[in-house]
Amino acid sequence: MALPGTKLMLAEFLSWWLSQMRPLAANILGPAQAPDALIIKIDEPGPPPSGALLLRQKGQEHHLSGLQAPQRRSAPPALPVFLRLPQNLLLSRDITLPLTASRDVRTILQFEMDQLTPFSADELFWGLSSQFQDRKQNKLHLRLAIVPRANLAPTLTWLASQKLTPGWIEHKDGRIPLNISTSRPRRQAILAAACIGLGATCLALPFIRQQFALQEAASLVAARAPAAHIAEKLRAQLAATASGRAAIEAARRQGDALQILAALTKALPDDTWLADLSLKSGILTMDGQSANAAKLIALLSAVPKLRNPSFTAPVTRTNDGRADLFSIRAEVTE
């Protein structure tokens, strides 16, 4: 007779064992497990980037040509296109979430990305390379791989000019989708057929019935025009009366600059200096330098009158390397 917790312990052990064996199997089997693909190997980002085109078939990679070769050898059609970057362009970190987040991890990370990294999700190409469920601790362990879009934009633009459109970034732990439109003939055929069917349906509509409907609508508009004119005059009078009140309300919604300045002075640490501060239409922007810019988001999130603080540009170091240069945007609440 099995003990009460035997099945649960066995499931936890199996989940752990699979998470440990997955990278080991990848190392043992090597490229034989990788799909056939055209690989754009970047040695140095551009434009123009330096690198080569590789063809992977049945796990074996073959050199086709350099990226800037006058005549590149063509690859078989319909192969997926992967982009392989230098290691210094790919960033990764381990993160831990509650186990319940496993149902919709990508949506959760989409909203929490600016808390986990100095960037918002729209500023990154990102993907999850591995995950492990710790049911005993009720935790989900993930490895997040990211590439800032700004770092890759010149290279992608140059590749597009050369008619090279990668769909994924391939790295040692997995792949990151680039969200770049790729050719999908079957989907395009379906969409084309749907458009043709829709056009035929529109042409088959009874035009005479539409004309009668338009005439009836025109008659109703003409009959109600006097009442509409009176209503418009009343609306204009009400708008003029409320304009002053609306102006006061709009100014109040933008926030009290002195109160916001006092809150920032209290929240920001002594090792932080602001070079520029502006408040416009309820949006607060600030530029400056700090010994540790990454912690500023958490500090500003705790300010009652500020909401959704985030970096508007990558954090960089000063010339002397003693401080971080940052640019932050936040919404001001009432």
The CATH code of the domain that includes 123 is: 3.30.420
Report the sign of the C-alpha dihedral through residues 22, 165, 113, 88, in that order: positive
* Mean of all residue pLDDT scores within the chain: 80
In this structure, the answer to whether residues 169 and 270 fall within a common structural domain is no
Residue 147 belongs to a domain:
yes
Report d(CA 231, CA 240) in Å as an integer. Answer: 14
Instruction: Read off the pLDDT of residues 119-145 as tens digits, 9 standing for 90 and up.
Output: 998 899 998 876 778 888 888 888 888
In this structure, the answer to whether residues 262 and 174 fall within a common structural domain is no
Instruction: Read off the pLDDT of residues 148-191 as tens digits, 9 standing for 90 and up.
Output: 999 899 989 988 888 888 999 988 888 889 875 444 445 556 77
* Beta-bridge mates of residue 91: 146
Residue 194 belongs to a domain:
no
Quote the percentage of the chain above a pLDDT of 70. Answer: 80
Residue 227 belongs to a domain:
no
Q: With contact defined as beta carbons under 8 Å apart, do 309 and 329 qualify?
A: yes
Higher pLDDT among residues 46 and 180, named by residue: 46
Of 181, 207, 222, the residue that ends a domain is 181
Number of compact structural domains in the chain: 2
Helix, coil or strand: residue 163: coil
Query: Would you state the pLDDT for residue 109?
Result: 87
Query: Residue 115: what are its φ and ψ, rounded to 5°?
Result: -85, -25
> Mean of the pLDDT values across residues 209-232?
83
**Residue 239: which H helix or E strand, with range?**
helix 207-253
Residue 208 belongs to a domain:
no
pTM: 0.43
Tokens 């970047």, located at residue: 42
Report d(CA 183, CA 41) in Å as an integer. Answer: 21
Residue 155 belongs to a domain:
yes
Query: Would you state the pLDDT for residue 125?
Result: 92
* pLDDT tier at 203, thresholds 50, 70, 90: confident
Of 143, 161, 181, the residue that ends a domain is 181
Supply 272's token pair. 């932080």
Residue 31 belongs to a domain:
yes
In this structure, the answer to whether residues 25 and 171 fall within a common structural domain is yes
In this structure, the answer to whether residues 42 and 126 fall within a common structural domain is yes
In this structure, the answer to whether residues 141 and 284 fall within a common structural domain is no
Residue-number span of the structural domain to which 59 is assigned: 9-181
In this structure, the answer to whether residues 18 and 117 fall within a common structural domain is yes
In this structure, the answer to whether residues 138 and 281 fall within a common structural domain is no
Instruction: Read off the pLDDT of residues 281-304 as tens digits, 9 standing for 90 and up.
Output: 788 899 999 988 888 898 888 888
Instruction: Read off the pLDDT of residues 226-256 as tens digits, 9 standing for 90 and up.
Output: 888 888 888 887 887 777 666 666 556 555 6
In this structure, the answer to whether residues 162 and 265 fall within a common structural domain is no
Query: Would you state the pLDDT for residue 207?
Result: 78
Of 155, 181, 207, the residue that ends a domain is 181
Supply 41's token pair. 């190997």
pLDDT over 60 (residue 257): yes
Instruction: Read off the pLDDT of residues 51-107 as tens digits, 9 standing for 90 and up.
Output: 888 888 888 888 888 887 766 666 667 788 999 999 888 888 888 888 888 788 888
The CATH code of the domain that includes 316 is: 3.30.1360.100
In this structure, the answer to whether residues 152 and 285 fall within a common structural domain is no
pLDDT over 80 (residue 214): yes
**Residue 199: which H helix or E strand, with range?**
helix 185-203
Report d(CA 314, CA 316) in Å as an integer. Answer: 6
Residue 29 belongs to a domain:
yes
In this structure, the answer to whether residues 175 and 261 fall within a common structural domain is no
> Mean of the pLDDT values across residues 5-12?
57
pLDDT over 80 (residue 4): no
How many CB atoms lie under 10 A from the CB of residue 52? 18
Residue 198 belongs to a domain:
no
